[in-house]
Chains A and B, each alone.
Chain A
Amino acid sequence: MSNIAATEDHYTSTGVDNRKLMMWIFLGSDCLFFGSFIATYLVYRNRSLAGPYPNEILDIPITTVSTFVLLMSSLAMVMGLSYVQQGRQVLGRYWTLATALLGMVFLGFQVYEFSHFAHIGLTPRTNIFGTTFFTMTGFHGAHVTFGVIWLLILAFSRLASSFKQKMLIFASFISVIIAMAGLMMTETLDVIPHMPFSLAISVTIIGILGVIASLYMLRVPDTEPAKVSKEEENLELAGLYWHFVDIVWIVIFTVVYLVSAKDGAPLL
């Protein structure tokens, strides 16, 4: 017993890894965080004194699609973790990357939705609906963004032992950014305006090809189980976080888009 270091994760009283336990405690805490935003939204329902009101602006079909995308990202997360647990690192990494990409697509929908609302005239300053809607979904989006960065780091940065591998990781990151830039040029998102569609689509495709090419060259043989455990733990932690953020979105989707989609001007 004497040479067990304080932070080594071999022995714990409950048998649960310290980091995993802390992640659960953090998620418990985060429930109260989102709970407070959601409670504020519900308390302030139907209290906007000026438009646009939810029934004029919320687009359920589009958000259903983005919700579906986020749910599918959780499926990809499960696949990724499952492959890593089997020691099949390559597939595990592809699924992890797929999770992050689906998360990015969800964020793209959110960017679109926010900018669309702003065009129509709903900002956080317009009315109490805008105030509560943008802060709640915005902080959820920030959580998704953090999760995407975490997953990208997990997907790319493992086993960066040689110079070539480091360069390939760098190349894959650049490719992701190029692909994102391409998506932003498209008219639907229109974050970078006035770009011809052909340019936007070709930049996107170049980016995606770059990701695939660098990942293909980065592929590593499946590792022996002893080495897997650490990677598995890391991915499991990210997975817990990702599923949690996903669940929070289901609540927000229900509360905002399903429950209050018909909310209009207050009956004074």
Chain B
Amino acid sequence: MTTISYPTFIRRPNEYVSGIWGWITTVDHKRIGTLYGVTAFLWFLVGGIEALLIRLQLAQPESSLLSPEVYNQVFTMHGTTMIFLVIMPLSAAFFNWLVPLQIGARDVAFPRLNAFSFWAFLFGGILLNLSWLTGDAPNAGWFAYAPNTEVPYNPRNGVTYWILGLQLLGIASLAAGFNFLTTIINMRAPGMSFMKMPVFIWMTAVVNVLIVLAFPIITVALIQLQFDRLYGTHFFNPAMGGDPVMWQHMFWLFGHPEVYILILPAMGIVSEVLPTFSRKPIFGYTFIVFSGIAIGFLGWFVWSHHMFTVGLGPAANSAFAVSTMLIAVPTGVKIFNWIGTLWGGSIKITTSLLFAVAFIGMFVIGGLSGVTHASPPSDAQQQDTYYVVAHFHYVLFGGSLLGLWSGIYYWWPKFTGRFLNERVGYWHFGLTFFAFNLTFFPMHWLGLDGMPRRVATYPEGMGWDISNLVSTIGSLMLGVAVIVFIYNVIYSNLRMPKTASNDPWDGRTLEWSIPSPPPHYNFDAIPEVKYRDDFWYKKYPELAHDTHGGGSDSEIQENHEVDHADIHMPDPSYYPFFLGLGLAIMVGGFIPFAGHWVVCAIGLVIFIWSFLGWSYEPVNG
């Protein structure tokens, strides 16, 4: 290697860069995880404010707080933000933090690509939200049905922002998907076979398979829509032989796997939290893993249940109804596995466990209302009503978000070395749980009573007034619950001492075997894995006999004095940041009026420069 001189563009920084450049150049999976988490939380506040605006508008009939035009923009951005900028990146924060720690690796397979994923996500979110500044936020719903998104019906730039922002976010997700799959398949500690991986890692693997296979489809659909809007092609233009229903197929062929991309990480988290606080192994590990795989697999055959009212005919509708109902089976299996895990356990009640248990309950409600619209005739009544809104908030908020919050309380000591305050945590949980149901439960009967969604207001005398007011009060209380959470974070970071030991919850997986917060190289020595829940059986070797056959000869590894200078971690790099920036500028240049080919060219130059610099950057030093 020494004879080869690399063309150096910027000198690769040494191991530590302090301050903001330290964060910008970082390739450490833990820091990137934190960046994902903090950014996603900030977007969560943005999306939450949008939600409150929607609820305030709907608090009373014939309200004129928001004009119909603005209302369209607000609900579109609320959905887009919560899905692409909150739940997905919050899950990505957990992937980043936990995948290397739980499989016993020092970092992900491609640390710089990992950093690039984050920057592309951040700039994609910014590009999407820049549309607010121009006054043309996207206004066609998160599903952006054609031909409503075509230029004749939507001549302003909102949809273009939406397309280009989502393209960037898609690139970020794809890069992360390649990275995590490679990491999980290839970087497991010696002895950790697939069936010894923690359930969270399994769910991460399934999610990333879905990302890798579903995002190319939306990429193509977005390219087609963009070409229609900017270059006059006719993909979704019926006047020239195109077909708007094609967009629906393309979108939901991506969109349905996407909903499993949103829920499976939370299912993985809950599957880690419940065994720890029940002091029992997960009930039916193999079943829960294969159910997760089955959900990911069946998720590809159900997309048209979003299109029951399009008129695809009875044969298609029946087929998709059956496949949709089938999905309830592996999902139900998981529910019983979680209950079985709690059953007979010595349960320790913590905020994390409360969120996890609430997850099960709320997800069951959301799942059941989901099964009701797996039936086409019943769905025909529910389509485009608040019943559907209630359904997907029970699975997305009551499911994904409660699960993620459970994970936040559970791993916070591992991430920061400090506990979140449990007393404040109970308040946070109680308020969230109560206010969530107050907000979304009335939507069930509002929907069954015929209240349409995506309509800016409703007339008096429909009997919807009280329920809507209750729902709005609930949503304001949810806002208070979020403030309680923020208070908890600030309080515990300022007031709580760094008291977290390596293993504060008596955990089962490898991340609890190392200090809290972990050193930047994670493991002194890469652990050798013998069992599922290996760390648990290293702590309690006497339990290993009856559970997993093999002898009890696994012992807690001696903490060898390891010379840390021997551990080579990848150095920080400037290029992921600039590659993401160049890409975002290039993509932003496609927006008419705001953009210009000169902008594209500047972005392209930055992109090529960073790409070459990245390629020739020496691996270390």
Contacts and interface: CB of A to CB of B under 8 A. Distances in A.
Interface of A: 1-8, 12-14, 16, 18, 21-22, 25-26, 28-30, 32-33, 35-37, 40, 43-44, 47-50, 124-125, 127-128, 130-132, 135, 139, 159-161, 266
B526 A18 contact: no
B280 interface: no
A135 B185 contact: no
B212 A36 contact: no
B181 A25 contact: yes
Contact of B182 (A2, A22, A127): A22
Contacts of B177: 25, 29
A2 B566 contact: yes
Contact of A2 (B192, B216, B524, B620): B524
A33 B182 contact: no
A130 B182 CA distance: 39
B190 interface: yes
Given A33-B219, A44-B242, A128-B242, A7 B213 contact: no
Interface of B: 3-5, 100, 105-111, 174, 177-179, 181-182, 185-188, 190, 192, 212-217, 219-221, 223-224, 227, 231-235, 240-243, 246, 250, 521, 524-526, 560, 562, 566-570, 619-620
B246 A40 contact: yes
A178 B215 CA distance: 39
Contact of B567 (A3, A16, A47, A128): A3
Contacts of B566: 2-3
Given A4-B526, A16-B186, A40-B224, A29 B241 contact: no
12 contacts: A2-B524, A2-B562, A2-B566, A3-B568, A6-B569, A12-B186, A13-B192, A28-B213, A36-B216, A49-B241, A124-B227, A131-B240
A192 to B, nearest CB: 21
B110 A36 contact: no
Contacts of A266: 241
A135 B212 contact: no
Contact of B234 (A12, A14, A125, A161): A125
Given A6-B570, A18-B182, 15 more contacts: A5-B106, A6-B107, A14-B186, A18-B187, A28-B212, A36-B220, A36-B250, A44-B241, A47-B241, A124-B232, A125-B234, A127-B241, A131-B234, A132-B235, A161-B4
A6 B111 contact: yes
B188 A13 contact: yes
A2 B212 CA distance: 32
B525 to A, nearest CB: 5
A124 B220 contact: no
Contacts of B100: 6
Nearest to B217: A36
Contacts of A16: 186
A32 B221 CA distance: 12
B562 A135 contact: no
A161 B241 contact: no
A189 B110 CA distance: 42
A127 B232 CA distance: 10
A43 B246 CA distance: 9
A213 B313 CA distance: 67
Contacts of A124: 227, 231-233
Given A6-B107, A49-B241, A127-B241, A1 B246 contact: no
Contacts, number: 147
Contacts of A13: 185-188, 192
Contacts of B220: 33, 36-37, 40
Most buried by B among A3, A28, A47: A3
A123 B620 CA distance: 50
Interface centre among B106, B109, B179 (most CB of A within 10 A): B109
B212 A128 contact: no
A35 B186 CA distance: 27
B402 to A, nearest CB: 31
A47 B560 CA distance: 71
Nearest to A131: B233
A49 B241 CA distance: 6
Contacts of B219: 33, 36
Contacts of A48: 241
A44 B106 contact: no
A93 B4 CA distance: 18
Contacts of B179: 22
A192 B529 CA distance: 65
B235 A5 contact: no
A7 B526 contact: no
Contact of B243 (A29, A35, A44, A135): A44
Nearest to B239: A49
B241 A14 contact: no
Given A8-B568, A36-B250, A161 B3 contact: yes
A266 B240 CA distance: 12
**Which of A14, A36, A49, A135 lies at the interface centre, i.e. has the most chain B CB atoms within 10 A of its CB?**
A36
A14 B214 CA distance: 25
A7 B109 CA distance: 6
A13 B217 CA distance: 30
A18 B110 contact: yes
B110 A5 contact: no
B31 to A, nearest CB: 14
A21 B234 contact: no
Contacts of B109: 7, 18, 22
A33 B235 CA distance: 16
A249 B156 CA distance: 37
Q: Which of A1, A6, A12 has the most CB of B within 10 A?
A: A6
Contact of A21 (B3, B185, B213, B246): B185
A139 B226 CA distance: 14
Contacts of B242: 44, 47, 128, 131
A29 B176 CA distance: 13
Nearest to A17: B186
A12 B212 contact: no
A29 B213 contact: yes
A20 B127 CA distance: 33
A37 B232 CA distance: 17
A43 B188 CA distance: 43
